[in-house]
């Protein structure tokens, strides 16, 4: 006897016992499935190919209850209260069978990407650059992942790009997870002075330093140009 046949036999016994005793089974149907350790294939096959017999039985009992003459005669050994209990028990069995089927579904977890994978599409300057006779070393762009604030400088336009949020990340060439109300771009009038002020800032002061820089704050770009170098990351 395979596992599907075992469930079918259980149902037959369930209905036979009720017919004899006219008492609802005290079996916890979900625990029955669980303790028998029926696998996903078994419960799927039973629900899709065999549970119709229980559904059909419920229809017949309901017909007897609602006055179908032939069915009322066929189930004449049961009074209305007993018919209701019979129906209720079988409905509960089907509910628990479907609940167990859902419980056994395979949940595929989305594989979490590594920082290297997340920043793959973000192309930044990754070699040291000299700006006004001062050499600046870029920070590894993987440090952006889960940071709270970062500063980047465009070596061509002298724009300072500031992103700040609870948990920064990357999607392609985009920085994600930032607060657009405090993040943005500013043109640096005195580039070395501006760079030094932000690279020496701490987590608390970085936003204030950015706001106090001259020139109007512009919205952060949707994507980050490859002309930017990452100079400050705050965890």
Can you give the pTM of this predicted structure? 0.55
**pLDDT of the chain, 235 residues: tens digit per residue:** 799 999 999 999 999 999 999 999 999 999 999 999 999 999 999 999 999 999 999 999 999 999 888 998 999 999 999 999 999 999 999 999 999 999 988 766 678 889 999 999 999 999 988 888 888 899 999 999 999 999 999 988 888 899 998 899 999 999 999 999 889 998 888 888 888 887 787 777 788 888 888 888 899 988 999 999 999 898 8
- Distance (Å, rounded) from C-alpha 66 to C-alpha 71? 9
β-bridge partners, 130? 135
Contacts of 158 (CB under 8 A, 6+ apart): 187, 188, 191
186 φ/ψ angles, rounded to the nearest 5 degrees: -135, 140
Work out the number of other CB atoms within 10 angstroms of the CB of residue 70: 10
Tokens of 19: 């017919």
* 184: helix, strand or coil: strand
| 135 in Cβ contact with 192 (< 8 Å) | no
């Amino acid at each position: 006897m395979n596992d599907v046949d075992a469930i079918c036999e259980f149902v037959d016994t369930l209905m036979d016992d009720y017919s004899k005793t006219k008492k609802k089974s005290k079996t916890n149907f979900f625990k029955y499935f669980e303790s028998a350790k029926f696998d996903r294939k078994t419960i799927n096959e039973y629900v899709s190919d065999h549970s119709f017999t229980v559904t059909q039985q419920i229809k017949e009992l309901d017909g007897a209850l609602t006055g179908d003459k032939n069915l009322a005669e066929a189930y004449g050994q049961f009074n209305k209260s007993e018919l209701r209990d019979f129906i209720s028990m079988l409905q509960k069995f089907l509910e628990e069978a479907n609940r167990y089927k859902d419980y056994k579904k395979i949940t595929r977890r989305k594989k979490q990407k590594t920082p290297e994978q997340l920043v793959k599409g973000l192309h930044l300057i990754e070699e040291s650059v000299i700006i006004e006779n001062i050499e600046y070393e870029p920070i590894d762009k993987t440090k952006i992942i889960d940071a709270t604030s970062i500063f980047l400088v465009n070596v061509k336009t002298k724009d300072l790009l500031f992103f700040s949020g609870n948990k920064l990340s990357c999607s392609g060439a985009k920085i994600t997870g930032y607060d657009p109300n405090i993040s943005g771009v500013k043109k640096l009038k005195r580039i070395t002075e501006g760079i030094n002020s932000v690279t020496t800032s701490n987590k608390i002061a970085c936003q204030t330093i950015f706001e106090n820089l001259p020139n109007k704050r512009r919205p952060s770009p949707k994507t980050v140009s490859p002309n930017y170098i990452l100079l400050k990351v705050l965890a």
